Amino acid sequence: MATTSPGMLRRLQDWLPRLVLAPSFALVLIFVYGFIVWTAVLSMSTSRILPVYKWAGFDAYERLFAQPNWWMALKNLAIFGSLYIIICIALGLLLAILLDQRIRIEGVLRPIYLYPMALSFVVTGTAWKWFLNPGMGFQNTVRGWGWEGFTFDWLVRPDMAIYTVAIAGIWQASGFVMAMFLAGLRGIDSEMLKAATVDGASTFTIYRRIVIPLLRPAFLSAVIVLAHMAIKSYDLVIALTGGGPGNATELPSTFMYSYTFTRSQMAVGSASAMIMLMGIAAIMVPYLYSELREEKR
């Protein structure tokens, strides 16, 4: 009956995982790392409308940093990114702590907070575009209630529009951050908290000195997830403001798309993509490094 020798079986067992992983590994190699290399090559070429492989050195990077639009995009990313990450974490943590007080309808509240994450950025952007539109949304409604002087027109004010992008982004992601923190809170050993209570520590002190420090892994993951979402948020801006008014809500991602595909400056677009990649790498590499080192210990 058994014709396969034990040796062959073991060899098969050794090879099986590699065989199963090989196709996806190859795909990742080509479609992630291959394309990164391709973008790097394009960013040093003279490409305009189509890829052209003519060496131009760092010319595209020089032109990139000479663009007022690019500086605008970086400034907006700094505003949007920092508000998005900080407020999402603060709000998510607050919601998680409140939900963790063993309230009765937690099962109902949790999905309500989490639901925005189920919406795509495009839906979020479009909904907030209508809500914030001064002619038909929030401002108009409040005025209809009788407060004639009420004004909330950030969406159409070049100096404030980037904050509306932050509002919509925070609305969408903070529930998700809450879920991450809630999972973290549930993972904390209740014996430790009981011991602290016995020692006479107040709830506030317990959270400040014990719980929040224990949530460090959750904080780290939240920052990583939010940071890369901030850098790649393209659809939110396109749906909410289209990059306007003027170019007041330009982000590196919208910049990259328009220079590569609509402005026939593929090399400059690729250069901006490389800068964005370096930005993400600057966050990810130290994180991965610290994670891997801890594993070894």
Q: Does 83 bind other proteins (CB under 8 A)?
A: no
Answer for which of 97, 156, 212, 214 binds other proteins (CB under 8 A) is 156
8 A C-beta contact, residue 156 and residue 245: yes
Answer for which of 158, 187, 217, 286 binds other proteins (CB under 8 A) is 158
Answer for which of 79, 163, 245, 287 binds other proteins (CB under 8 A) is 245
Q: Does 264 bind other proteins (CB under 8 A)?
A: yes
Residue 45: beta bridge partners? 55
Q: Does 46 bind other proteins (CB under 8 A)?
A: no
Answer for which of 133, 142, 214, 223 binds other proteins (CB under 8 A) is 133
Rounded Cα distance between 164 and 166, Å, is 5
Q: Smallest gap, in angstroms, from Cβ of residue 264 to other proteins?
A: 5
Rounded Cα distance between 90 and 3, Å, is 63
Q: Closer CB to other proteins, residue 51 or residue 217? A: 51
**Which of 33-41, 43-51, 114-122, 276-284 is the region at the interface with other proteins (rule: CB under 8 A)?**
43-51
Tokens of 114: 């989490």
Among left, alpha and beta (phi > 0; psi -120 to 50; other), residue 146 is: left
**Which of 79-87, 94-102, 205-213, 257-265 is the region at the interface with other proteins (rule: CB under 8 A)?**
257-265
Q: Smallest gap, in angstroms, from Cβ of residue 220 to other proteins?
A: 37
Which residues, other chains included, contact 273 with Cβ-Cβ below 8 Å and sequence gap of 6+?
39, 43, 256, 260
Tokens of 229: 């979402």
Among left, alpha and beta (phi > 0; psi -120 to 50; other), residue 52 is: beta
Rounded Cα distance between 119 and 112, Å, is 12
Q: Does 263 bind other proteins (CB under 8 A)?
A: yes
Rounded Cα distance between 196 and 128, Å, is 44
Binding site for other proteins (CB under 8 A): 48-51, 63, 66-69, 129, 133-136, 153, 155-156, 158, 161, 241-242, 244-248, 258, 261-265
